[in-house]
Amino acid sequence: MKTIAIVATGGTIAGTGKKGKTAAYHAGEIDIDSIIETIPEINEVAHIKEYQLMNIDSNEMTHEKWLILKNNIEEILSDDTIDGAVVTHGTDTLDETAYFLTLTLNTPKPVVLTGAMRPATATSADGPFNLYQAICLACHGESYNRGVLALFSNTIYSGRDIEKVNNFKIDAFDQRSLGCLGYMQDQEVYFYTQTSKIHTVKSRFNKRIDSIKSVAIAFYYSGADAKILYDLASDHEGIVIAGSGSGNYSQAWLKAIEELSEKGTIFVRSSRISQGIVFDDEIFDPHHLCISSNTLSPQKARVLLMLALTQTHDRDEIREIFLQY
């Protein structure tokens, strides 16, 4: 059997509340040992090593904690006796962590994120089965060198494209219109597609990272004051705009973008819409000052821009990064 490391960070999968109930619970309350004890079948598929790295609600995840997570996973997987890793994580910000690890991990070994929508104390908690399948996925030979993966409700997702689309159902994730990578039935793995974007061992961001640049997200809505952009630019090197439609905004925002770009702020145009793609636009960005997010959500565009700004402030180079990653 293969040896899989479980790197626990908390989340709903480690949450506790009133026995049997699915609401009003505290995330990150129990340790990974207690969760594993409820899944004796795990011992039939892999040797397990447990690492309780942190135990937090995923809304407490920060880029400093991302760096800790990256460094620990790489150190763990540098051990030749460990074949892969499963990261337990809260669902609220899992998509951001998954993409950060996709861009920064320097390992070809399988790394699978999973979690739960119901706390451990709920009737029919979904965490144990997700964790069981995630371990099976990490053991599977075809998971090697596919980049960071995520596993929820029998479905395999890429770390780049996974997105939480429902805050209530246990089947809470999707990949926009790109489709999933595959499915699982119990312990069986069925891959159908894979991402063509650069990740992990081929990523330009997989070296040692000491700090990450500050990037904000500006959400556009009807009548939004352009002062939002000026205020954010005073504290951040980059701004991702979650625009309406195809990354759109008002003429007042366009003027602010043009003025702030001249002073060095880097802008990315993304959309508050969960389906579709953002391309360059002659109307809303006539001077090509903004970088298009393509299929990245605003929060994932922020992750990529934070990393890109650690290496360059050249707008054309960052534009190429967004096309490649």
For the chain, domain boundaries: 2-202, 215-324
Which residues are CB-neighbours of 208 under 8 A, at least 6 positions away?
none
What digits encode the pLDDT tens for the residues 232-278?
A: 999 999 999 999 999 999 999 999 999 999 999 999 999 999 999 99
pTM of the predicted model, to two decimals?
Answer: 0.95
Q: Tell me if 2-202 shares its fold with 215-324.
A: yes
Instruction: Mark whether 12 is an active-site residue.
Output: yes
* Local confidence band at 298 (pLDDT 50, 70, 90 cut-offs): very high
Domain 215-324 CATH class label: alpha beta
Confidence at residue 268, expressed as pLDDT on a 0 to 100 scale: 98
As annotated, the binding site for substrate includes 58, 91-92
What digits encode the pLDDT tens for the residues 200-212?
A: 999 999 999 999 9
* Local confidence band at 223 (pLDDT 50, 70, 90 cut-offs): very high
CB 83 within 8 A of CB 135: no
Q: Which fold has domain 2-202?
A: Rossmann fold (3.40.50)
Confidence at residue 22, expressed as pLDDT on a 0 to 100 scale: 67
Catalytic residue among 88, 91, 93, 195: 91
As annotated, the binding site includes 58, 91-92
CB 4 within 8 A of CB 25: no
Alpha helix (H) residue ranges in 198-314: 227-233, 251-262, 298-308
Of the given ranges (120-124, 141-145, 174-178, 222-226), which has the lowest mean pLDDT? 120-124
Instruction: Mark whether 107 is an active-site residue.
Output: no
Task: Check whether 24 has a pLDDT greater than 70.
Answer: no
Distance CA 159, CA 251 (A): 35
Catalytic residue among 9, 12, 102, 114: 12
pLDDT exceeding 90 applies to what percent of the chain?
90
